[in-house]
Homo-oligomer: A and B are copies of this chain.
Amino acid sequence: MSDTAPTCGYIHAHEDTIRAVNERMPDEDTLCDLAELYKVFGDTTRIKILYALFESEMCVCDIASIINMTQSAVSHQLRILKANRLVRYRREGKTVFYALADDHVKSILGQGLEHIVE
């Protein structure tokens, strides 16, 4: 974060463009939430977990086995996914089953894929 905005000789953008940008720009809190959400998707382990859950709900141990990571690592990441409401869970005895929270996850990942294959 800086507090000094640089000024080049003159502003190229018209005043109404600048006003339009300021109108469209979400407020700081929303921007932070947005960035936070994308950060969650910005990790291979978490993406793998989500892809695994595409197929069906799964317990922590199965997820760990499928994506070849330790139970601890998976559990830590599930906490983050949970906190961002990308997965939900239900307990059944000693086992905790995780599932995708909603279809947003699929469509977000799908759109990302679209961009990189282009």
Contact: A62 with B95, CB < 8 Å?
no
Given contacts A6-B70, A108-B115, contact A47 B35 (CB under 8 A): yes
Contact: A6 with B65, CB < 8 Å?
yes
Q: Mark A61-100, 1 if CB is under 8 A from B, else 0.
A: 1101110111101000000000000000000000101000
With a cutoff of 8 Å between Cβ atoms, the chain B residues found around residue A97 in the complex are 12
Main secondary structure of the interface of A (DSSP, over half): helix
Which range contains the number of A residues in contact with the other chain?
Answer: 35 or more
Contact: B24 with A55, CB < 8 Å?
yes
How many whole Å from A90's CB to the nearest CB in chain B?
13
With a cutoff of 8 Å between Cβ atoms, the chain B residues found around residue A20 in the complex are 55
Contact: A111 with B104, CB < 8 Å?
yes
Contact: A25 with B51, CB < 8 Å?
yes
The 8 Å CB contact of A115, one of B17, B24, B37, is B37
Q: How far is the CA of A21 from the CA of B51 in the complex (A)?
A: 7
Closest 3 CB pairs of A and B: A8-B61, A39-B42, A38-B41
